[in-house]
Amino acid sequence: MKEDTVIIVENLTKNFGDFTAVNNISFEVKKGEIFGFLGANGAGKTTAMKMLIGISNPTSGNAQVAGFDVYKNPNDIKKNIGYMSQKFALYDDLTVKENITFFGGIYGLSRKKIEEKRCQLVEELGLQEIVNELVGSLPLGWKQKISFSVALLHNPKIVFLDEPTGGVDPITRRQFWEMIYKTAHEGTTIFVTTHYMDEAEYCDRVSIMVNGKIEALNTPKKLKEQFKTSTMNDVFLKLARG
Amino acid sequence: MKRFIGFIKKEFYHIFRDRRSLFILFGMPIAQIMLFGFAITNEINNVNIAILDHSKDETTKEIIHKIASSKYFTITASILNETEIETAFKKGHVKAVLIFEKDFSKNLGKENNATVQVIADATDPNTANTISNYVSAILQNYQQQINVAVKTSYQIIPKTRMVFNPELKSVFMFVPGVMTIILMLVSAMMTSISITREKELGTMEILLVSPLKPFQVIIGKVVPYIFLSIINAIVIVLLGIFVFNMPVQGSYFLLAAESVLFIITSLSLGILISTISASQQTAMMISLMALMLPTILLSGFIFPVSSMPLPLQIISNIVPAKWFIIILKGIMLKGVGIQFIWKSTLILVGMTLFFIGLSVKKYKIRLE
Amino acid sequence: MSISVQNISKSFKDKTALKNISFEVQEGELFGLIGPDGAGKTTLFRILTTLLFADSGTATVANFDAINDYKKIRNNVGYMPGKFSLYQDLTVEENLEFFATIFGTTIEENYDLIKDIYVQIEPFKNRRAGKLSGGMKQKLALCCALIHKPKVLFLDEPTTGVDPVSRKEFWEMLKRLQTKGITMLVSTPYMDEAALCDRIALIQDGKILEIDTPQHIVKHYPKTIYNVSANNMYQLINSLKNYEHNYSVYPFGEFVHYSDKRNDFNPTDLKLYLEKQQLQNIQISKTAATIEDTFMELAK
């Protein structure tokens, strides 16, 4: 494994009975890269992502995430990645503070470290007013920003974001992406799925999955040149509609 | 009407496609009846006991023989001295030890007085009690035999006759109890869950924004479960009759009618629960806590109501299951007609009307 | 008038969901309610579909009062709630049949209306709804909401969580439905979909920010917007944010949308500043404001 490559996927395949959800995909992601993982509903994105974060075993093929093999060391993978999904982010019935303490705890951070991180977060995100409020009472945009920060508590090498900005207002969505840029700039790799095609443009490289296969993988600029279109949306439509 | 039939058809699709629930629905009554009928019982059968016979004479031999030949006891060990008794108990092989005193025959002949000591393992007090009663009965029986020959002083011998359940079979207690629980569970829990499921899925919103009237939605939800509950009731009664030889002394028609009444009572409770809970989980919790526990504990199914403390006795009156169990026992065991159970029936009717009224009042044609 | 909303307010326990909202939707119009989650869109839909009472204000749908004539409204509208509310354990055909029956009609009777959409899911008609992909569920839900030929169709976030391909197809379907004279109120968090509506209302925090046609609404943007790009996006955003004259800085796809406080802004100044910040390949060009720009400006 090269020094700066944090995800290596080779011929990864996942079958459910007769159905091939992920069909022989291969790609690499570098350190500090923002990697967009796009595809229509049911194209196999979620299945592929589950294999990479070590909660689902591939049918065949190889994958290494953060230097660990998905078959042999799924637990080491989990220690070295952060994960944030749209569906589950934080506990609604705990306060912001309690959520941070809890998630810091499950990643084995010391009490002192958690305290330190919490102060840092409160400072950076401007949480002073809401740190003792229940997460359930916060607007969606806040929740998503906080849960992204929580996914970063243990300084993971890679963060997996599953549609992090669905339904979020446009201003918060941009603030969220600024956080992503900052995180990537500091050397953390971002692996992100989204349905907003303008967000695909923010990525360093983008892969597009169609029916379990990666049909395109390049920088947004090159993809647009390749498909002779002016937006990623059109690239996506051309590919997915066939 | 066509709308309504379409609705009921849909409900049956739900029920038959959910294999797991279907299995619980029909598997549970059978499993419970078998469990209560065979495993949990107050009767004793083939209890292992040990004998410590200090005299070893004709009389003790005869008594031991009598005990051994009864179906209640199996003599598994003969113990030679007192010190072994404790070991025998601790090993757990025997539930009781019978000790005949030295010179048992002699004492009986000379002084008309001989002692048998029964030591029973009272970790399970009910069993211990029953064992000691049975042993006493066998001894008394033997005493009567020898007394026929030798006329002695006057004696008062109580002769107890157990009516309606002469063999004291506990399964006769459990069949009405299990039937009550199952009907309550299927009717109340299943309907409340199936109504709240629509709320959770968001389909209730669409149903509300449709020309379907609220009572049609509710009745449509309930009808399939009336069918299922009736089938369950029949299965339970048949199991009782054919597997446990449970008698049905009274009229089958009355039994059926009362069962349908109780099903409707439970359904109305289920509807009431669904109007006050927003999720399937809450509906389930309320059904379990507010219905199942009182049904099992306060209905007289396991613990007799008459031996409860007064406050609980009073509370037990609001448990519908209590009245249904009274009705069931009346019909099945005593063979009484409506003239003896009209009071309980009337109470159930009243409760049903009350629950339905409350549900109608609580039912919302809107989301708030 | 197909839908009329006058001074509607609604609050829940401790939260105000709608603050004095008014708007009107013409017959046959495709009206968009554009705003993020939590803006109050769903509450408004529920009031209009007679599922909730407003605290104050009045509303009529298809000329029926939302409170007194709620039964008539329920007979005349189609409603597709946020999460595609279908019976997961019923097949495609069974779902459709069920909704047809409860509205007292049959699939055959109104097949014309749903034909275009239904043919796309017909190959899967024996599949359970729970096993459909997001796009197909959405189409089925639309068929179910249309099966009784409603006068007004309420679609609450029909495209949320659906991929761009299905979203595009869905909007094409709505456009076709419009030609059949059905009035539609659609809500969406995707700003790019707003352009497909006849008129839109931008809504945030229970307040309507603006109502107009998509073409007009962007003209309200007070400033000239420039597309700015450079070799490093992160650095570019930071540099622009630190630029003292910036009015707004928002990443927009491959560019950053930048507007300046000054009226006599000269892009060359900015270019010089950015070059000083060690950025390369700097490009600055004028661009038209989008609905999203307008929304952010109004929501600020």
> Which chain B residues are within 8 Å of C85, Cβ to Cβ?
201-203, 205-206
> Which chain A residues are within 8 Å of C172, Cβ to Cβ?
none
pLDDT the model gives residue B152: 56
- C213 with C226, same domain? no
The residue in chain A having the minimum alpha-carbon distance to the alpha carbon of residue C202 is: A169
Question: How far is the alpha carbon of A185 from chain C, nearest alpha carbon, in Å?
Answer: 8
CB within 8 Å of chain A, chain C residues 167-196: 167-168, 189-192
Are A178 and C251 within 8 A, CB to CB?
yes
> Which chain C residues are within 8 Å of B20, Cβ to Cβ?
none
CB atoms within 10 A of CB C251: 23
Smallest CA-to-CA distance from B52 within B116, B5, B114 is with B116
User: Do C and B count as touching (3 or more CB pairs closer than 8 A)?
Assistant: yes
The 3-class SS string of chain B reads: CHHHHHHHHHHHHHHHHCHHHHHHHHHHHHHHHHHHHHHCCCCCCCEEEEEEECCCCHHHHHHHHHHHHCCCEEEEEEECCCHHHHHHHHHCCCCEEEEECCCHHHHHHHHCCCCEEEEECCCCHHHHHHHHHHHHHHHHHHHHHHHHHCCCCCCCCCCCCCCCCCCCCCHHHHHHHHHHHHHHHHHHHHHHHHHHHHHHHCHHHHHHCCCCCHHHHHHHHHHHHHHHHHHHHHHHHHHHHHHHCCCCCCCHHHHHHHHHHHHHHHHHHHHHHHHHCCCHHHHHHHHHHHHHHHHHHCCCCCCCHHHCCHHHHHHHCCCHHHHHHHHHHHHHHHCCCHHHHHHHHHHHHHHHHHHHHHHHHHCCCCCC
pLDDT the model gives residue B4: 86
The residue in chain A having the minimum alpha-carbon distance to the alpha carbon of residue C256 is: A202
CA distance B201 to B109: 84
Are C300 and A171 within 8 A, CB to CB?
yes
Which letter does DSSP use for residue C60 in this model? E
| Residue C11 binned pLDDT confidence (cut-offs 50, 70, 90) | very high
- C157 with C191, same domain? yes
Are A201 and C254 within 8 A, CB to CB?
yes
Q: How distant, in Å, are the alpha carbons of A221, B129, B208, C60, C213 from that of B116?
A: 102, 16, 77, 93, 104
Q: What's the whole-number mean pLDDT along residues C171-190?
A: 91
Question: How far is the alpha carbon of C250 from chain A, nearest alpha carbon, in Å?
Answer: 7
Mutate to test the interface with A, among C168, C233, C293 (most CBs of A within 10 A): C233
Mutate to test the interface with C, among A143, A178, A234 (most CBs of C within 10 A): A178
- C208 with C270, same domain? no
The yes-or-no verdict on residue C161 having pLDDT over 80 is: no
Superfamily of domain A32-44+82-241: P-loop containing nucleotide triphosphate hydrolases (3.40.50.300)
Task: Kindly report the CATH number assigned to the domain that includes residue C66.
Answer: 3.40.50.300
Are C99 and B206 within 8 A, CB to CB?
yes
Which residue type, as a one-letter code, is found at position C147? I
pLDDT digits (tens, 9 = 90+) for C243-275: 999 999 998 888 899 999 998 889 999 999 999
Are C296 and A195 within 8 A, CB to CB?
no
- C165 with C240, same domain? no
Location of structure tokens 């002949």 = B109
Q: Using CB atoms, which residue from C36, C233, C292 is nearest to A181?
A: C233
- The neighbours of chain C, by the rule of 3 or more Cβ pairs under 8 Å, are A, B
- C112 with C255, same domain? no
Its domain, for residue C267, covers 221-299
Q: How distant, in Å, are the alpha carbons of A129, A145, A181, B13, C280 from that of A175?
A: 19, 8, 10, 48, 24
Q: What's the whole-number mean pLDDT along residues C39-52?
A: 92
C166 close contact with A: CB closer than 8 A? yes
Q: Using CB atoms, which residue from B17, B205, B212 is nearest to C89?
A: B17
CATH top-level class for B47-149?
alpha beta
Question: How far is the alpha carbon of C37 from chain B, nearest alpha carbon, in Å?
Answer: 17
Are B206 and C79 within 8 A, CB to CB?
yes
C109 close contact with A: CB closer than 8 A? no
Question: How far is the alpha carbon of A210 from chain C, nearest alpha carbon, in Å?
Answer: 11
pLDDT digits (tens, 9 = 90+) for C76-86: 999 998 777 88
Q: Would you say C229 and C271 are in contact if contact means Cβ atoms under 8 Å apart?
A: no
pLDDT the model gives residue B150: 59
- C167 with C236, same domain? no
Interface contacts A/C by beta carbons within 8 Å: 95
- C168 with C116, same domain? yes
pLDDT the model gives residue B157: 60
Are C79 and B17 within 8 A, CB to CB?
no
C234 close contact with A: CB closer than 8 A? yes
Q: Would you say C81 and C148 are in contact if contact means Cβ atoms under 8 Å apart?
A: no
**Which of C192, C217, C242 represents a domain boundary (last residue)?**
C217
| Residue C283 binned pLDDT confidence (cut-offs 50, 70, 90) | very high
Question: How far is the alpha carbon of A204 from chain C, nearest alpha carbon, in Å?
Answer: 10
Q: Would you say A189 and A114 are in contact if contact means Cβ atoms under 8 Å apart?
A: no
Task: Kindly report the CATH number assigned to the domain that includes residue C251.
Answer: 3.30.70
**CA dihedral of residues B34, B326, B264, C86 (deg, nearest 10):** -30
Location of structure tokens 């194209």 = A43
User: Do A and B count as touching (3 or more CB pairs closer than 8 A)?
Assistant: no
Query: In chain B, what are the domain boundaries?
Result: 2-40+169-362, 47-149
Tell me which residues of chain B have a pLDDT lower than 50. none
The yes-or-no verdict on residue C213 having pLDDT over 60 is: yes
Are C35 and A39 within 8 A, CB to CB?
no
**Which of C217, C240, C258 represents a domain boundary (last residue)?**
C217
The residue in chain C having the minimum alpha-carbon distance to the alpha carbon of residue B201 is: C85
- C149 with C211, same domain? yes
Q: Using CB atoms, which residue from A169, A221, A241 is nearest to C36?
A: A169
Q: Which two tokens stand for residue C288?
A: 């038209």
- C67 with C136, same domain? yes
- C30 with C85, same domain? yes
C203 close contact with A: CB closer than 8 A? no
- C283 with C158, same domain? no
Are C234 and A237 within 8 A, CB to CB?
no
CA distance C92 to C130: 9
Are A232 and C160 within 8 A, CB to CB?
no
pLDDT the model gives residue C5: 94
pLDDT the model gives residue B42: 58
CA distance A24 to B106: 96
Question: How far is the alpha carbon of C190 from chain A, nearest alpha carbon, in Å?
Answer: 8
> Which chain C residues are within 8 Å of A197, Cβ to Cβ?
164
pLDDT the model gives residue B160: 63
Are B209 and C51 within 8 A, CB to CB?
yes
Are C104 and B211 within 8 A, CB to CB?
yes
Are C74 and B208 within 8 A, CB to CB?
yes
Are C90 and B202 within 8 A, CB to CB?
no
- C88 with C164, same domain? yes
- The neighbours of chain B, by the rule of 3 or more Cβ pairs under 8 Å, are C
Q: How distant, in Å, are the alpha carbons of B153, C72, C95, C239 from that of C91?
A: 86, 30, 6, 56
**Which of C193, C217, C241 represents a domain boundary (last residue)?**
C217
Q: Using CB atoms, which residue from C134, C157, C296 is nearest to A41?
A: C134
pLDDT by residue, tens only, chain A of 242 residues: 456 899 999 999 999 888 899 999 999 999 999 999 998 877 888 899 989 998 889 999 999 999 999 999 888 898 899 998 876 678 888 999 999 999 888 888 889 999 999 999 888 888 888 889 888 888 888 888 898 999 998 899 999 998 888 878 888 889 999 999 999 999 999 999 988 888 898 999 999 998 899 999 999 999 999 999 988 888 988 887 75
Structural domain total, chain C: 2
